[in-house]
Amino acid sequence: MHRSVQDILNMKKERKKISVITSYDYTLASLCDKAGIDILLVGDSAGMVMLGYENTIPVTMEQMCMFTESVSNARNNSLLVSDLPFMSYQASIEDAVNNSGRLVKAGADAVKLEGGSVMAKTVRAVVDVGIPVMGHLGLQPQTTMLSQGYKVQGRTKDAAMKLIQDAQDLEEAGVFSIALEMVSHEVAEIISKTISVPIIGIGSGVGCDGQVLVVQDLLGMYDKIRPKFAKRYMNLSEDIVRSLESYKNDVVSGTFPREENWFSMDDEAELKKLREHIGS
Ligand code: KIV
């Protein structure tokens, strides 16, 4: 049985830190699940790291459903949360409920959406139909980037008070956790201590209840943007390119494939018959 939303809530009560990683495809998701990661997040960052877009704006529901399905096929242990992409929930509560349902049908246990107090009614409506919601505050790539660009959030008292209010409103609306992106670590710690549901930080310091990273950042597979907060645990892109160069050299020099990589006819007699038949 995989982790439930209640398991994640209990982890905060038991002061256990929560590990979250983004996942978009079957192969990597299987490894994340095997590693014991608590939550697999099918983030709309898929638009950048899987589809090569400049930002998350173009991501569609169809794409999110496909990524969700492939991660769902891989997971055995982790909770699976999927992002509602840009404009799949902002225009109406009906959109939010319908599209949350589509992600659940694709295999998600819960959905994530960006926005604070203004999203409280939407969150409540989705939770009311039985779909758990993770909030997303601080830098909100779907909209903050449009208005402010890539900027640390919660650096002044007023900005911090607004974030705290947003978190309280989301908590009251029924979210089971909140992702907190690029918020000053002092404010992130205050929010984590005052809000009862788990706060999952990304670039928001060690005071959060858990951490989330984009899997390609962690594995060193995405070089277009290298955020300060993304710790690289390996440099996989270098290893991959080196392996592909070796493969190419083997093909060119004829050292691949070898006998252990190919198949033979049943026996010499069959080959002889074939040669006679085609006259060579
Ligand atoms: O889309 C995403 O990957 C996210 C995380 C960075 C929190 O929302």
Q: Could you report the per-residue pLDDT of 262-272, keeping only the tens digit for each?
A: 999 999 999 99
Per-residue model confidence (pLDDT) at position 271 = 96
Q: Which CATH number belongs to the domain containing residue 147 in this structure?
A: 3.20.20.60
Q: Could you report the per-residue pLDDT of 103-140, keeping only the tens digit for each?
A: 999 999 999 999 999 999 999 999 999 999 999 999 99
* Alpha helix positions (H), the chain: 5-13, 26-34, 46-49, 61-74, 93-105, 120-128, 144-147, 157-173, 185-194, 215-219, 236-253, 268-278
Q: Could you report the per-residue pLDDT of 166-197, keeping only the tens digit for each?
A: 999 999 999 999 999 999 999 999 999 999 99
Residues 255 and 222 in one domain: no
Residues 19 and 147 in one domain: yes
User: 213 in ligand 1 pocket by Cβ < 6 Å?
Assistant: no
Per-residue model confidence (pLDDT) at position 53 = 97
Q: CA 10, CA 134: separation in Å to the nearest integer?
A: 15
Mean pLDDT across the stretch 228-239? 95
Q: Could you report the per-residue pLDDT of 63-79, keeping only the tens digit for each?
A: 999 999 999 999 999 99
Per-residue model confidence (pLDDT) at position 147 = 84
Residues 116 and 226 in one domain: yes
Over 80: is that where the pLDDT of 221 sits? yes
User: 45 in ligand 1 pocket by Cβ < 6 Å?
Assistant: yes
67's CB contacts (< 8 A; 6+ apart) are: 24, 25, 42, 46, 50, 82
Tokens of residue 128, six digits: 């009311």
209 phi, psi to nearest 5 deg:
-80, -20
**Count of residues making up the chain:** 280
Q: Which residues are known catalytic residues?
A: 181
User: 43 in ligand 1 pocket by Cβ < 6 Å?
Assistant: yes
Residues 106 and 215 in one domain: yes
Per-residue model confidence (pLDDT) at position 65 = 99
Per-residue model confidence (pLDDT) at position 182 = 96
Residues 117 and 65 in one domain: yes
Q: Could you report the per-residue pLDDT of 3-21, keeping only the tens digit for each?
A: 999 999 999 999 999 999 9
Domain end, chosen from 214, 234, 254, is at 234
* Coil vs helix vs strand at 188: helix
CB-CB neighbours of 95 under 10 Å = 16
Over 90: is that where the pLDDT of 59 sits? yes
Mutate to test the pocket of ligand 1, among 45, 50, 59 (most ligand atoms within 8 A of CB): 45
Nearest CA to ligand 1 atom 8: 43
pTM: 0.96
Domain end, chosen from 234, 249, 264, is at 234
Per-residue model confidence (pLDDT) at position 145 = 78
Mean pLDDT across the stretch 239-250? 98
Nearest CA to ligand 1 atom 7: 179
Residues 182 and 259 in one domain: no
Q: What percent of the chain has pLDDT over 90?
A: 95
Q: What number does the ligand 1 atom closest to the CA of 200 have?
A: 7
Per-residue model confidence (pLDDT) at position 133 = 99
Residues 224 and 246 in one domain: no
Q: How many domains, in total, are found in the chain?
A: 2
Q: What number does the ligand 1 atom closest to the CA of 213 have?
A: 6
Residues 31 and 138 in one domain: yes
Ligand 1 centroid from CA 244, angstroms: 30
Residues 33 and 95 in one domain: yes
Nearest CA to ligand 1 atom 5: 43
Mutate to test the pocket of ligand 1, among 32, 153, 214 (most ligand atoms within 8 A of CB): 214
- Which domain, by its residues, includes 253? 239-279
Per-residue model confidence (pLDDT) at position 149 = 82
User: 219 in ligand 1 pocket by Cβ < 6 Å?
Assistant: no
Over 90: is that where the pLDDT of 230 sits? yes
Q: In whole numbers, what is the pLDDT of the chain averaged over residues?
A: 97
Residues 261 and 223 in one domain: no
Per-residue model confidence (pLDDT) at position 237 = 96
Q: What percent of the chain has pLDDT over 70?
A: 100
User: 177 in ligand 1 pocket by Cβ < 6 Å?
Assistant: no
Higher pLDDT, 106 or 144: 106
Residues 249 and 228 in one domain: no
Ligand 1 centroid from CA 58, angstroms: 15
Residues 127 and 260 in one domain: no
Per-residue model confidence (pLDDT) at position 280 = 62
* Residue 223 banded pLDDT, cuts 50, 70, 90: confident
User: 22 in ligand 1 pocket by Cβ < 6 Å?
Assistant: yes
Higher pLDDT, 146 or 173: 173
